[in-house]
Amino acid sequence: MTLAATSTPKDAADVRALLDAVTDPEIPVLTIGDLGILRDVRVDDAGAVTVVITPTYTGCPAMSAIELAIRDRLLEAGCEAVRVETVLSPAWTTDWMSAEGRRKLEAYGIAPPADGAGEGRGALFAADPTVRCPHCGSQETEKVSEFGSTACKALYRCRACAEPFDYFKCI
């Protein structure tokens, strides 16, 4: 369901439909729903909206921009009272990403985390995962740096096609 900018959302489903247009400023092909950072939406009897988000990691600089985009989108749609709540617990994990979000990441040239990869998080000295190149599909890749273009990504290089790429780290 797509609401026009002049239709005031009536319930949480309407708000979620509006928020489908809010993207991550660092990876603009992903919505906040794709990322799994949109945790909850509530609309009270007076029409006040509360949106609950969880950052991909504490201190993520994109969260301020995302919060502003959520507010702007909902105020533009006629919501008069909007509250964005950031919760840190439970901590976000890549397991919360949607399958569609993973497909979008790969099409954008970023290697997505594998399904279930976040389950083993916290293993400080775990071996680096085998990462498939988003350009050619080869698994002959190597990590160049723990940090890529943003702190939530690592920089990899494909040995087969020699292209560098980001890998969305499993958290």
The closest of 149, 135, 49, 152 to 92, measured between CA atoms, is 152
pLDDT tens per residue, range 29-46: 999 999 999 999 999 999
Q: Tell me the C-alpha distance between 80 and 8, whole Å.
A: 9
Q: Which two tokens stand for residue 44?
A: 């009270």
Does 12-86 carry CATH code 3.30.300.130? yes
Banded pLDDT at 102 (limits 50, 70, 90): very high
- Domain ranges within the chain, ordered by starting residue: 12-86, 96-168
Q: Which amino acid is at 29?
A: V
Banded pLDDT at 7 (limits 50, 70, 90): low
Sheet strands side by side (includes 82-86): 38-43, 49-53, 82-86
